[in-house]
Amino acid sequence: MRKLSHYLEILIKYFLCFWAIFSGLIFPFIVFFLLFYESRLAIKHFGIIKFITSQTWDPVTEKFGGLAMITGTIISTFIAILIAAPVSIGIAIFITELAPSWLKNVISSAIELLAAIPSIIYGMWGFFVLTNFMRNYIEPALQFFFVPLPFIGKFFSGVPTGIDVLTTSLVLSIMIIPFMSSIVKDSFNLVPLVMKESAYSLGATKWEVIKDIVIPYTVSGITGGLVLSTGRALGETMAVTFLAGNVTQVPTSLFSPFTTITVALANQFTEADTPLYLSSLFYLSLILFVLSFILLTFAKLLILRLQKKWK
């Protein structure tokens, strides 16, 4: 019986080890190899620098450049994170430190419900509801206040249409807030109660405890939530397809229509009727894959740096 238990333990150990290695090392390598193999024609034809610095995307003449898609992906993701991060941290602080007991479960359940809504629903809501509100009220007001300013004004230039960078980033931020706030909330709940009680006994206020105890202790959890949210925003397709405008250009203001890598892939894969066209789309997929790994590496380095700083 003991031998059977021993062999079973070894079997489970190697089984878990295999799946850990497969999901962490082998599978990403396979995906990278397949994307690289399929995009080799575009890499040979356009190179790297020419492809990522050209914004020409013309299937008729077979001239392809990914600058517009890459720039649109990075800008929309950055603005979405810029909006979602403080809101998510604020929600987590309210739930864990400020809300009464009867309200905590209600708000937590409501936020988790938002995470279960399909992205296409967000896209349809943004297209049919939010775009009209942004076009008629928010964007004209922003132009009224910011356009006269010397440097900031150019970011608010253009015709308010509601189908632009600002609306897309706003909907993306609403989509990723539930993920980030849930992770940050769980991190806040892991703070030892004795640390907070010790700070209170020394005369610290609630906000001092949050600022000096809770946030430093959970900085790695906050950054982890930020990383996962960034990955979700980078890979979002359906909501962005509804709201971006699908215009292959580098956005010059928050009110410019644009496109992203995922939107281009979703809209054009079925239309790719030549080997070079299809290979260029795979090239965009490869760039998105590498971009995700670069951001993940940067985030891990940031976590290590923040942990050393707070320690």
Distance CA 235, CA 258 (A): 16
Nearest to 166 by CA among 212, 61, 158: 158
Banded pLDDT at 309 (limits 50, 70, 90): low
**Sign for the pseudo-dihedral over CA of 209, 213, 216, 221:** negative
DSSP string, 140-154: HHHHHHHTTSTTGGG
Q: How confident is the model at residue 30 (pLDDT cuts 50, 70, 90)?
A: very high
Instruction: Report the mean per-residue pLDDT for the chain.
Output: 87
- pLDDT for 307: 64
When comparing pLDDT for 157 and 303, which is higher?
A: 157
Distance between CA atoms of residues 45 and 47, nearest Å: 6
Would you place residue 216 in the very low, low, confident or very high pLDDT band (cuts 50, 70, 90)? Answer: confident
DSSP category for residue 156? G
State pTM to two decimals.
Answer: 0.90
Q: Which residue in 306, 301, 293, 81 sits closest to 187, CA to CA?
A: 306
Using DSSP, state whether 64 is helix, strand or coil.
strand
Check pLDDT > 60 for residue 237: yes
213: confidence class by pLDDT, cuts 50, 70, 90: confident
CATH number listed for the domain at residues 69-310: 1.10.3720.10
Query: What is the per-residue pLDDT for 83?
Result: 93
Burial class of residue 245 (count of CB atoms within 10 Å of its CB; 0-12, 13-18, 19+)? buried
pLDDT of residue 42: 93
Summarize pLDDT for 93-123 with one digit per residue, the tens.
999 888 888 888 888 888 888 888 888 899 9
Q: Look at residue 143 and tell me whether its pLDDT is greater than 80.
A: yes
Q: What is the DSSP string of 44-63?
A: HHH-SHHHHH---EETTTTE
Confidence class for position 136, pLDDT limits 50, 70, 90: very high
User: Residue 134 pLDDT > 90, yes or no?
Assistant: yes
Find all residues with CB under 8 Å of 247, minimum gap 6, and list them: 256, 257, 258, 259
* Residue range 133-162: mean pLDDT, rounded: 90
Write the secondary structure of 217-257 as one string of H (helix), E (strand) and C (coil).
HCHHHHHHHHHHHHHHHHHCCHHHHHHCECCCCCCCCCCCC
What does the pLDDT read at residue 190?
86
Three-state secondary-structure class, residue 74:
helix
**Domain extent listing, the chain:** 69-310
User: Is the model's pLDDT at 308 over the cut of 70?
Assistant: no
Lookup result for tokens 């009727």? 273
d(CA 269, CA 154): 34
For residue 257, the model assigns a pLDDT of: 93
For residue 245, the cross-strand partners are: 258
pLDDT tens-place string over residues 79-96: 999 999 999 999 999 998
Run of H or E residues at 104: helix 101-115
Contact by Cβ (8 Å): 196, 268: no
Stretch 68-89: mean pLDDT: 92
Q: Which two tokens stand for residue 198?
A: 């010790």
Residue that has been written with the tokens 């080890």 in this structure: 17
Q: Which residues pair with 64 in a beta bridge?
A: 57
